[in-house]
Amino acid sequence: MDELRLKPDCKNWLKDLKQRVRQTQVKAAVQVNTTLLMFYWELGADIVERQKSAKWGSGFLKQLTQAQPDNLKTSLHSIEELEAEFSVDEIEEPEK
């Protein structure tokens, strides 16, 4: 389909359609990232709480990372450090 042969109103509609698709894609990506961030934040809080009750030298974090899939192993330590630095209460829930 050659856009040069389209009527002006159809060209404008297609331009608007492309813009709406892109806006929807960005909005969906932001929502997914927000959901993942909250999940990882809560996971970090859970890890910190469990570490507090684990015996010193029990190897809690090492056991946890060995039991997780590779994509989670790489971020567990960073999540724990982030959660220890900031309180979950300091984060505002995104508006919906």
Contact predicate 44/83, CB 8 Å: yes
Where do the domains of the chain lie? 7-89
37-67: pLDDT as tens digits: 898 888 888 878 887 887 777 777 777 777 6
Report the candidate in 75, 96, 80 with the shortest Cα–Cα distance to residue 48.
80
Contact predicate 73/65, CB 8 Å: yes
pLDDT at 13: 92
How much of the chain, in percent, has pLDDT values that exceed 70? 65
**Residue 18, pLDDT above cutoff 90:** yes
**Residue 10, pLDDT above cutoff 80:** yes
pLDDT at 1: 46
